[in-house]
């Protein structure tokens, strides 16, 4: 194995070791929730013909609550 392959393998192992901890930190970050809400609102506006703004917000929130973060 050459030096570059050792380096790449070390980087992968380091990321593997911290992936669960990173996923937990992302899931706890308020900015992540804000981004998910923004994305879900955009998705609803583009794909679901709802007239009521309150219903749009409710559907967006429910979609956001169905997204999770985990390491893979």
End-to-end CA distance of the chain: 26
Asked if 64 and 33 count as a contact pair (C-beta separation under 8 A), the reply is yes
CA distances from 60 to 15, 18, 31 (A): 32, 31, 16
Q: How far apart are alpha carbons 60 and 64 in whole angstroms?
A: 6
Q: How far apart are alpha carbons 54 and 41 in whole angstroms?
A: 11
Q: What is the pLDDT of residue 1?
A: 61
Global pTM reads 0.76
**Along the 72 residues of the chain, how does pLDDT read in single tens digits?**
677 799 999 999 999 999 999 999 999 999 999 999 999 999 999 999 998 999 999 999 999 999 888 888
């Amino acid at each position: 194995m050459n030096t570059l392959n050792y380096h790449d393998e070390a980087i992968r192992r380091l990321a593997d070791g911290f992936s669960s901890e990173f996923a937990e930190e992302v899931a706890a970050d308020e900015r992540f929730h804000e981004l998910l809400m923004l994305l879900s609102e955009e998705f609803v506006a583009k794909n679901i013909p709802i007239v009521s703004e309150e219903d749009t917000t409710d559907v967006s929130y429910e979609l956001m609550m169905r997204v999770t973060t985990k390491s893979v």
